[in-house]
Chains A and B, each alone.
Chain A
Amino acid sequence: MLIFKIWNYINGYVIIRIKGNMLEKFLNLINLEKIFIWDVQKLGEDIIELKINAKKFKSIRHIARKTGTSVVITNKKGFPFLYKKLLKRKSLLVGLILFLSIQFIFASIIWDIRIIGNNDVSTEKILQSLKESGLKTGVLKYKIDRNHIINNLILQNPEIAWAGMKIKGTKVIITVVERTQIPEIEDTDPCNIIASKDGIVEEIIILKGEGVVKKGDLIKKGQILIKGISGDSDFDNNFIHAKGTVKARVFYNKRIKVPLTKIIDKETGRTSMLIKIKFKNCEIPIKKVGPVFNKYRSEIEKKTILGWRNILGFVEIITEKQYETKEEKIFLGIEGAFDVGKDILNKEINEFIPDGSTLTTKNFGKLLLKDESVLEVSLTVETIEDIGVKQKIIQK
C-alpha cells in the first residue's frame, strides 16, 4: 500500500492518543461516520494510538465528547506540516531555492563543444564559424538554433559535406563528415576528350590533339572524340593534354499519357463550418455547423489563443470552411487531350534539358492507344550542346 502511504503523506496526518473507558465504542462510532483511521495500537489498559487524516481530526471531537474520552495529538506528519515548518525557517527556504535555481542555470549553459570526424578542417576553424553563428561555451542551451548553426557551418566550410549536432547535458557534440574531393585534371596532365552523351557531331574545334570524329558522325556515350596524342609518334611519351570543343545534336524524348476524359470537382453551393482546437500536433474538433460532405474543398483560417508574449502560442483555433464538391466528367476529345498533353510537356521541357544547351527543334506526336481511352502524347526535342568531357589517360 505504498500509494496509500504517499497519499497520506501528501495530505498530512496526525498521530493521536485516546484515553478512556469506551474505546471500542469510540472506534465503532468513527467507523460509522466513515472517517478513515489506520494503525490502531493498544498502548495500555485504556490508551490507544491511531493515525487519522489531519483534516478529519476536527470531526472526531464530538465523538470523543460522546464517549467521554480525551484526545491528545502526539505527532503531526506529512507534507502540509513540513511546509509550515519550512516556512518558519526562511533562510533554509531561500537557500533551497537558490540551490535549485543555480543548478538549473548551470545545467542550461553549454560548457563544452566537442568536434568529431574532422581531418583536414581544423578544429579552430570549425569553432570559429560556430562562434559566428552563435554557438560558443557559455551560451544558453535553449537559444541554440540547430538548423541555422549547421547550415552556416556547411556553407562556410565547403570541405564539410555533412554535419550533425547532438546536445548531451551541457556538452555539444558536433559530428562532421568531410567531402572527398575529386582530383581535378590539371592543364598539363595527358587526357582525351570523350562524349558524355549519344548524338550526332555538329561542330568540332580541335585546339590540341588529334580529332577522331568528323561532322555528321553518330557518336555514343563514352566514345573518344579528341585523342590526346601529339602528331609525331616517334616519341615514346607522346601523350598530351587534348583541348577543344565538340558540339553535337542530342535528342531527348518524353512520352506521357493523357486520358480523354477529365474529372473536375464542381462546387454544389452547400457549405459547412468546422471549428477545431489545435494543441501542438493534436487536433480536437469543437463544433460543427452544417452537414458532413463526402468530398469538399476546405478553406482554413488559423488563430492563436493568447498570442501575447507567445505563452500559449502553440494553441491554435482553426476554423475550417468546407465547400461541397461533386465530381463531373468532361470529354475532351483527341484534340483537347493533345492540347492538355502539350501544355504538360511544355512545362516539363526545362526539367530534362540540361543548362547551356540550345533548343533547335521541338516535335509533338500523338497516338491513340487501343482499348484505353488514353492518348499518348510524345515530345521529341533536339538540342545542340557541348558534349566533350575530359578523361585522364592513365599511362601504364
Chain B
Amino acid sequence: MEETIKKLTYTISEYMELPKDIVMDLPKITLIGDIYMTLENHLGIVEYTETMIRINTRSGELVISGENLKIKVIINEAIIINGQISGIKISK
C-alpha cells in the first residue's frame, strides 16, 4: 500500500514538475564545498562522532564521514553540519 502511494506521488510530481522534497517529503541536501552541509527534512540523529554522523531520513540512513564534524545548528526541520566533509552515503 505504502509503495503504491509512493509511486503515485512520484508520478504526479514528475508529471506536474513539482519539487519532490516537498511533495514526497524527501531530504534535501545542500553542500557548500566540503566544509558546510545543510540537510532539510531529517528524522533525527542516529550516531554522532567527530568523524561520522548518521542521520535518519525518509530515503534511508544518511552517513556523513569526515573530520572535525560539528553540528552547527539543529532544529526540527534542518541540520547544519560543518567541518571537513569527505563523504556522503545513503544506506537503506
Q: Do A and B bind each other?
A: yes
Count of chain B residues near A, Cβ 8 A: 15
B75–A39 CB distance below 8 A: no
When A40-B74, A41-B70 are in contact, do A31 and B44 touch as well, CB less than 8 Å?
yes
B75–A31 CB distance below 8 A: yes
Q: Is B91 an interface residue (CB 8 A)?
A: no
A39–B72 CB distance below 8 A: yes
Q: Is A24 an interface residue (CB 8 A)?
A: yes
A37 to B49, CA, bound (A): 17
In the complex, chain B residues whose CB is within 8 Å of the CB of A114? none
When A23-B48, A31-B44 are in contact, do A40 and B70 touch as well, CB less than 8 Å?
yes
Q: Is B45 an interface residue (CB 8 A)?
A: yes
Closest residue to B69 on the A side, CB-wise? A42
Q: Is A148 an interface residue (CB 8 A)?
A: no
A28–B70 CB distance below 8 A: no
When A41-B70, A42-B50 are in contact, do A36 and B45 touch as well, CB less than 8 Å?
no
Q: Which of A3-41 contact B (CB under 8 A)?
A: 23-24, 27-28, 30-32, 34, 36-41
Q: Which of B38-92 contact A (CB under 8 A)?
A: 44-50, 69-76
Q: Is A368 an interface residue (CB 8 A)?
A: no
A48 to B47, CA, bound (A): 12
When A28-B44, A31-B44, A41-B70 are in contact, do A36 and B75 touch as well, CB less than 8 Å?
yes
A31–B74 CB distance below 8 A: yes
In the complex, chain B residues whose CB is within 8 Å of the CB of A37? 73-74
A38–B72 CB distance below 8 A: yes
In the complex, chain B residues whose CB is within 8 Å of the CB of A42? 48-50, 69-70
A48 to B44, CA, bound (A): 17
B70–A27 CB distance below 8 A: no
CB of B85, distance to nearest CB on chain A (Å): 15
A269 to B45, CA, bound (A): 77
Closest residue to A30 on the B side, CB-wise? B74
A31 to B55, CA, bound (A): 13
A41 to B73, CA, bound (A): 11
Q: Which of A34-76 contact B (CB under 8 A)?
A: 34, 36-42, 48, 50
A27–B48 CB distance below 8 A: yes
In the complex, chain A residues whose CB is within 8 Å of the CB of B48? 23-24, 27, 40, 42, 48
Binding site for A on B (CB under 8 A): 44-50, 69-76
A28-B44, A40-B72 are known contacts; what are 10 more A-B pairs with Cβ within 8 Å? A24-B45, A24-B47, A27-B48, A32-B76, A34-B75, A36-B75, A38-B71, A38-B73, A40-B74, A42-B50
